[in-house]
């Protein structure tokens, strides 16, 4: 496991998401309303647009362009038109920072 500091924890409010680039990978870091932090590929598998610009709702994020929603825990699409999952990355929050392991995507 090779965790990297992705951003300050304060950079991601509950119900919000941001885009970061770690080791050349575009990653969406999202915080659910209950404060949990998740890291997934930033590009929607349907339209290749930034998921970080979408809306976080419950434990999912909805692509702003065509409305596909993805589960933040598994990366699986919850609604069409996307059918392919996005990768999910191990992440943690400690000492005021969010850390992501961009070398270990899960799908």
What percent helix, strand, coil does the chain show, rounded to 5? 5, 45, 50
Share of the chain above pLDDT 70, in %: 98
Residue 27 lies in a domain: yes
Residue 34 lies in a domain: yes
CATH value at residue 10: 2.102.10.10
Residue 106 lies in a domain: no
Share of the chain above pLDDT 90, in %: 92
Residue 35 lies in a domain: yes
In this predicted structure, what is the pLDDT of residue 56? 98
Which pLDDT band, with edges at 50, 70 and 90, does 44 fall under?
very high
Which pLDDT band, with edges at 50, 70 and 90, does 7 fall under?
very high
Residue 107 lies in a domain: no
Residue 48 lies in a domain: yes
Backbone region of residue 32 per phi and psi (left: phi > 0; alpha: psi in -120 to 50; beta: other values): beta
Parent domain of 48: 4-100
Average pLDDT (35-63) is 96
Question: How many domains does the structure of the chain reveal?
Answer: 1
Residue 105 lies in a domain: no
User: In sequence order, which residues have a C-beta less than 8 Å from that of residue 78 and are 6 or more positions away?
Assistant: 60, 68, 69, 70, 71
Q: What 8-state DSSP symbol labels residue 45?
A: T
pLDDT above 70 (res 84) = yes
Note whether 102 and 23 are within 8 A (CB): yes
User: Other CB atoms closer than 10 Å to residue 20's CB: what's the count?
Assistant: 21
Which pLDDT band, with edges at 50, 70 and 90, does 35 fall under?
very high
Which pLDDT band, with edges at 50, 70 and 90, does 1 fall under?
low
Average pLDDT (15-41) is 97
Residue 64 lies in a domain: yes
- Angstrom distances, CA of residue 103 to CA of 9, 42, 56, 67: 21, 15, 24, 28
């Amino acid at each position: 496991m090779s965790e990297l500091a992705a951003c300050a924890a304060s950079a991601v409010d509950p119900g919000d998401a941001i885009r970061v680039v770690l080791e050349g990978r575009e990653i969406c870091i999202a915080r659910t309303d209950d404060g949990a932090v998740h890291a997934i590929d930033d590009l929607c598998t349907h339209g290749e647009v930034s998921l970080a610009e979408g809306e976080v709702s419950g434990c999912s994020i909805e692509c702003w362009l065509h409305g596909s929603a993805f589960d933040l825990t598994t990366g699986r699409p919850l609604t069409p038109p996307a059918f392919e999952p996005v990768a999910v990355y191990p992440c943690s929050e400690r000492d005021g920072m969010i850390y992501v392991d961009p070398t270990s995507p899960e799908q």
